[in-house]
Chains A and B, each alone.
Chain A
Amino acid sequence: MASTETTGTAGIARPERAAPTTTQPTLDDTRPPAHRTAMTVERDAGLPGHGRPAMLFLAPFVVLYVLFIIGPAIYGLVMSFFDTSLVKSGLGDFAGLANYAEAISSRDFWSSLWHTIWFTILTTPPLVIVSFFFALLAERARRARWFFRLAFFLPYVLPSAVVALIWIWLYTPVLGLFTRWAVKLGFTEPNWLGDPNLAMFSLALTTLWWTLGFNFVLYLAGLQDIPRDLYEASSIDGAGPWQQIWRITVPMLRRTTMLVVVLQVIASLKVFDQMYIMTQGGPNFATRSALQYIYDVGFTDFRTGYAAAASTLFFLVVLAVSAVWLVLARRQEPEL
């Protein structure tokens, strides 16, 4: 998009130029250059005459967007009504609503959805409360804050595969560090990843370690924004530290908390990596998440039509959760 402007750098209003010259066509000048005054320039800005340049600016994004987001969304929806197979071309036999019916009546589908929700329930409260607690403590430190930020946020930048490998080693029967700690503390050797009752908790603990740092930083920033005077005024009024936390800190951080919760919930719904690498959805499918179920039926069983139907249903669940948050957020902060 070469600029045809030749009169020097933009952004600096030169006093000697009162109006644009008519001999230099610019991108937004689609009409013959006669009678162009400052007034016409103003009017141009108001007319839908920016269509062409707007298209050029929008094109890169919109083309990729249609090709890779909207297009597949529609294609997926269409595919869900057919018995499409990964290894066959074309859409396959028409199946009508059979795929949806199968998903809705499939115990595996609902269990995987439940596992996802259970995972969300297990991870969200600790990730909110513990990070808040740590942020409260860290706020007291001024010089050591960089150390805490490093310690807690460092895991967040690790790829899930790295986190998974490290924690598989920590959870290894007999040899794993955590296994040995548990035994030293007097417990029977916990089968972290092999016990269907324990596996999800182990995965939740791993996730807590991995993502707490993000919330910690959010809360720390929020805490620093609370004006000191509020605390001072309240302590003059005789408020103790607990009261200060309940009455000042928590309410002032309501926005941050809401953000943390919704980000956490939405991310938890889309969980895949930890299960895939650490338990492969086991033991006995006890940790298979919704997304892994879609992966299994679509890419291991080759049934892409059915997987598309399951994906659509999963999407509706995520949408419902997002909608709930939107409603809650709007009620809290009408200006959103």
Chain B
Amino acid sequence: MTTIADKPAADRELSAEQARRYATSADRRLKLFNRTCIGVLIAFALLWLVPLAWAVDTSLKPNGETTNPTWKIMEPTLASYRTLLDQGDIINWYAASIITSTLSALGTVVTASLAAFALSRMRFRYRWLVFWFVLIGIMIPNQVLIVPQFRELAAVNLLNTYWAVILPQIPTAIAVFIFKQFFDGLPKDLDEAARIDGAGFWRIYSRVVMPLARPAVSAVAIFTFVWSWNALLWPLLVLTNPKLMTIPVGLATVQGTYGVRYADTMASAILGAIPLVLVFLLFQRRIVEGIAGTGLKG
């Protein structure tokens, strides 16, 4: 296939008319192609929305109507939601999830950034040792520790408390490295300027470095919060009192209660989904940027 570069110079200059026509038809072809792509994607996107939409649809029906499933709702009602909010423990679950996730995120950000600051900005003997010591933590997935962690917490009587969920979630080795990588990228002159001013490490940390670390902080905070919120396996083991359960554990545990009351089941699912959906809608940009940033840095 000859390229434009191969043609003799004279032929390369298309007439203005030809060029315009070529551009228009190429333009049109491109527009058509784009439109088709978008059309196909819209179809898939709508398909992707079906499960959630169906769940909402079902939750707004009375329980009896769900055995004849159509999209149309004969008697729309909020009865299922009322049942759950009155009789269920879902408010307690909300509280548990909010408290445990917030404290986990807070704890992770604070401990990881402090440790990362030490590793990045301070020189001390055996710094390399601490570095590698923390590195092995990344290799150990939490899930293989559930058995010994459970025994430990049982021994100190911390089972069935929020701390049983929060404390093991705070030390996150990878958060240390995210912060360290970020801190390493900050110019050292800032530190020196502050040092000359007589600032100590704490000052440098809290007034110089951390304010600049907002992207890292929000990324770590949001991801820890979401991950902690959605955690199932560990809270399932340590929170056995239905009044103390987090949302995922509560939903998974009393799943069998509703039987064929599908509207109630779907209402509980929607109630369980709402908080994070709100978080997502509010923080969309940050979350997406955070993920994209991860991708770019590899």
Contact = CB atoms under 8 A, between A and B. Distances in A.
Please say whether chains A and B are actual partners in one complex: yes
Interface of A: 1-5, 7-14, 17, 19-21, 24, 26-28, 41, 45-51, 53-54, 57-58, 60-62, 64-65, 67-73, 75-76, 79, 84, 86, 134, 136-138, 140-141, 144, 147-155, 157-162, 164-167, 169-170, 172, 175-177, 180, 209, 212, 214, 217-218, 220-222, 225, 236-238, 241, 255-256, 258-259, 266, 270, 272-273, 276-277, 291, 294-295, 298-299, 304, 307-308, 311-312, 314-315, 318-319, 322, 333, 336
Interface string B208-246: 100000000000000000100110110001000000000
Contacts of B276: 157-159
- In the complex, which range does the number of interface residues on chain B fall in? 35 or more
Contact of A58 (B67, B115, B288): B115
A64 B170 CA distance: 7
A273 B3 CA distance: 56
25 contacts: A28-B201, A47-B123, A48-B123, A54-B124, A61-B112, A61-B114, A65-B134, A65-B171, A68-B171, A79-B148, A137-B37, A140-B33, A141-B34, A151-B46, A151-B48, A159-B230, A164-B252, A170-B54, A177-B50, A177-B54, A221-B296, A259-B298, A304-B150, A307-B147, A315-B141
B41 A169 contact: no
Looking at chain B's contact residues, is the secondary structure mostly helix, strand, loop, or mixed?
Answer: helix
A11 B139 contact: no
Nearest to B134: A65
Interface stretch (B17-25, B80-88, B267-275): B267-275
B194 interface: yes
A2 to B, nearest CB: 8
Contact of B148 (A51, A65, A73, A169): A73
B147 A294 contact: yes
Contacts of A5: 197-200, 203
Nearest to A267: B141
A167 B196 contact: no
B140 A276 contact: no
Nearest to A307: B147
A45 B124 CA distance: 9
Given A58-B118, A153-B280, A160-B232, A138 B41 contact: yes
A50 B123 contact: yes
Contact of A319 (B139, B272, B279): B139
Contact of B193 (A12, A61, A176): A12
A8 B196 CA distance: 12
Interface in B132-160: 134, 137, 139-141, 143-152
Contacts of A314: 144
Contact of A162 (B4, B112, B207, B269): B269
A311 B140 CA distance: 11
A294 B259 CA distance: 28
B197 A217 contact: no
B50 to A, nearest CB: 8
A277 B200 contact: no
Closest 6 CB pairs of A and B: A221-B292, A10-B199, A151-B45, A61-B115, A161-B251, A76-B148
Given A153-B280, A161-B247, A79 B3 contact: no
B47 to A, nearest CB: 9
Given A47-B123, A79-B151, A154 B277 contact: yes
Contacts of B134: 61, 65
Nearest to A174: B67
B295 interface: yes
Contacts of A46: 123
Contact of B176 (A61, A169, A236): A61
A207 to B, nearest CB: 13
Given A162-B251, A162-B272, A276-B232, A238 B198 contact: no
